[in-house]
Chain A
Amino acid sequence: GAVVSQHPSWVICKSGTSVKIECRSLDFQATTMFWYRQFPKQSLMLMATSNEGSKATYEQGVEKDKFLINHASLTLSTLTVTSAHPEDSSFYICSARKGWEYFGPGTRLTVT
């Protein structure tokens, strides 16, 4: 199989705080993981490519200082939303590459 998990599945935080989301490949090693953002009833927007042991590559328009990505091991990538604001509320989905991309179940972030 190729199972990807995310934690937490949902989180509510106050404006100005930081939130960390974890993405794990459970039964395989992934040198490359991806982070997407999905707005209601819309498609996925690629935010960044996370590479194990090196800096993430961000898509144009994505603030790297706001969305911190760390890929410390071959099975774990984290996305930290710093100084969160209500407009950061969204559904965040990660994926890991094992030949093809396999997606996690997503994390719903609500900033109040």
Chain B
Amino acid sequence: GDSVTQMEGPVTLSEEAFLTINCTYTATGYPSLFWYVQYPGEGLQLLLKATKADDKGSNKGFEATYRKETTSFHLEKGSVQVSDSAVYFCALTRMDSSYKLIFGSGTRLLVRP
């Protein structure tokens, strides 16, 4: 079945460091791909998305490119801030008629001043 695999956390970085959180997926067809962010004690916020191969989603300095050949959607940011500390979830939509979201396990990011 469809699935999403994320790198295990926590990821600890110093402020202004470069961030990469790896995400790979298994799916039949061509799912849409998402990154969601969850700040402590809150629900999920859509960070960015991509709907077809080679699309690049971007928002708030974060980017991710839909790579069909490597079935990946890695999240990157050139210079992280303390306020980016959160849990990041990679997700895809099922390719059946339900279009339900399938989430990865989440990666916790901690940015130190």
Contact = CB atoms under 8 A, between A and B. Distances in A.
Interface of A: 4, 6, 34, 41-44, 46, 49, 93, 95, 100-106, 108
Interface residues of B, number: 18
B42 A105 contact: yes
B83 interface: no
B98 interface: yes
A48 B104 CA distance: 18
26 contacts: A6-B43, A41-B108, A42-B105, A42-B106, A43-B89, A43-B103, A43-B104, A43-B105, A43-B106, A44-B89, A44-B103, A46-B100, A93-B43, A93-B44, A95-B44, A100-B46, A100-B49, A103-B36, A103-B44, A103-B45, A105-B42, A105-B43, A106-B41, A106-B42, A106-B43, A108-B41
Interface of B: 34, 36, 41-46, 49, 89, 98, 100-101, 103-106, 108
Given A43-B104, A100-B49, A105-B42, 7 more contacts: A4-B43, A41-B108, A42-B106, A43-B89, A43-B103, A103-B45, A105-B43
Among B36, B42, B43, B104, residue most surrounded by chain A Cβ atoms (within 10 Å): B43
Nearest to A10: B41
